[in-house]
Structure 1
């Protein structure tokens, strides 16, 4: 399972329809949070995602609408009895931010909060996948993130295995897991019965950014690109001044990168009641585009399914 839940999709100003930025990814039961705008813990409750399995919070940058939910989230987990450590990763000054949260209020935590400062191309290695930081272009130090799974084993050719004398049963499993097996005095290698390795899934989240080559390169072949699309094209000058992207620009980048699906997020409050302008201009360029809505959830499937 690889599931993406949009907990907050607003621009800098929240609206009745949209909470500030936060995206939760559930991979095989392991939870990762990307940005944590105010009220994120309540959004997690509304989405019934659970929060005690959350081990990492990845911050794209330290603007208030991306970080102010952290103290409340930590306290909620503390009240629920959390004892396991949690890591908050982000760009330069993330460690100072974590220390600030510790000093500005009383807290009841009985677990460690670890700060991890990242630079572009730094990698956090997980079991079966990794999260890589990428360069973005915003008005303050910022990062985007690529969650990419390890390659999967190729498809098992049952007929080829039987033709080589391997009987159905436990030996099939050993071959599928990359181990050679001995059959009637002969050795059968996994590569004799397994197809070529298959790619895992790939999700790219930009945070707030202007379109940039580093995001385009990171997004090549991605299953899902979640891109800043704060404004429509008639606001291009404001987008450039504030270092955000238009929906058209996000769609152009998605098309060049060859992604499977584009989700527009960080939606300005001017479109809070009707985001159709953003969607329409993006779909003229890249048809497989949708606008994120709060509590929207997507399951990312393998390309060969």
Structure 2
């Protein structure tokens, strides 16, 4: 398993089909697991994908339409059954009543502690505690309150082996160099961190579900390595997309192109389209975005692109 990948547990929109389950996306990121929008059937999809509820540290809901949250009861109850001690949950504050109904939908032995972080306002930075990333949410343009999510790894440095070797710095001296910013080499010269390293931008991920085009969409997607975004409609159905608060394939690609995305994942497809229409989503996106385009399928594992080497 890649240390950083998205597992697609469902890729349909309002209505599941024979080949596409309701939404569900599990992001693995350096030992943390973020489950976004678990729709109906997510628990079973996780079994098919070889995943465990112990992989889940966060449940993140974009909004409370059923295809984005009806899997919550099964997931929470399975987490209690399997002995998961605690998890975090983020959801629109305006839907707190729906969260309570889903969280306590049936009788079960409830042992899990869920740290709830309701989202309110136009932008929220969540408390990620000791996680190796920051997580923010931005309000989107949908008929009900909805948020997109952006995960950012802090910037760091990359050590340059050739520069270290040229200056005779090795072993524990490399660690002291990283911690103190300088070290004395065997020949007595002072070696600085700047001489042996380069700036390493943190990797970034964004998930954008039901929305029309709006400024927060572009802000969430800005410079991300992997963008998972709805493309419910084909471009010829742009009027329907606007009326229902969704994006087309071409609009999703425009976001990726203007935001400088590296890998674009299209998902949340309307049941109105047939399997033979699938290539049209890729074609319409590729006409706008020159980067890597992935049309999501259930149980796909899509890695975050490798870092660019300095």
TM-score, normalised to structure 1, is 0.91
Q: Which residue of 2 aligns with 1:91?
A: 92
Matches within 5 A, 1:225-304: 225-274=227-276, 275-287=278-290, 288-304=292-308
8 Å Cα contact 1:220-1:258 kept in structure 2:
yes
SS of residue in 1 equivalent to 2:35: strand
Instruction: Spell out, residue by residue over 1:186-235, the C-alpha distance to the aligned partner (whole angstroms, 9 max, x if none).
Output: 6543223222x211211111111112221112312211121110011221
Shift of 1:133: 0.5
Confirm whether residue 190 of structure 1 aligns to residue 224 of structure 2: no
Q: Aligned to 2:154, which of 144, 150, 158? A: 150
Aligned length: 301
Question: Does the 8 Å contact 1:24/1:32 carry over to 2?
Answer: yes
Q: Which of residues 163, 168, 172 is equivalent to 1:170?
A: 172
Q: Is the 8 A contact 1:95 1:116 kept in 2?
A: no
Instruction: Kindly report which structure 2 residues correspond to 1:1-305, keeping only aligned pairs within 5 A, or say none.
Output: 1-82=3-84, 84-119=85-120, 120-124=122-126, 125=128, 126-160=130-164, 162-163=166-167, 166-177=168-179, 179-183=181-185, 187-195=190-198, 197-274=199-276, 275-287=278-290, 288-305=292-309
| 1:68 positional shift | 0.6
Per-residue Cα deviation, 1:48-80 (whole angstroms, up to 9, x for no partner):
122213111111001111111000111122222
RMSD of equivalent CA atoms: 2.0
**Mind listing any 5+ residue stretches in structure 2 that lack a counterpart?**
none
CA spacing shift, 1:97–1:86, aligned 2, 3 Å: farther
Alpha-carbon distance in structure 2 between the residues aligned to 1:231 and 1:177:
51
Unaligned ranges ≥5, structure 1: none
Distance 2:131 2:208 in 1: 23
TM-score (structure 2 length as normaliser): 0.90
Is 1:162–1:168's contact at 8 Å kept on the other side of the alignment? no
CA contact (8 A) 2:79 2:112 kept: no
User: How far is 1:175 from its partner?
Assistant: 1.7
Q: How many Å apart are 1:39 and its aligned residue?
A: 0.9
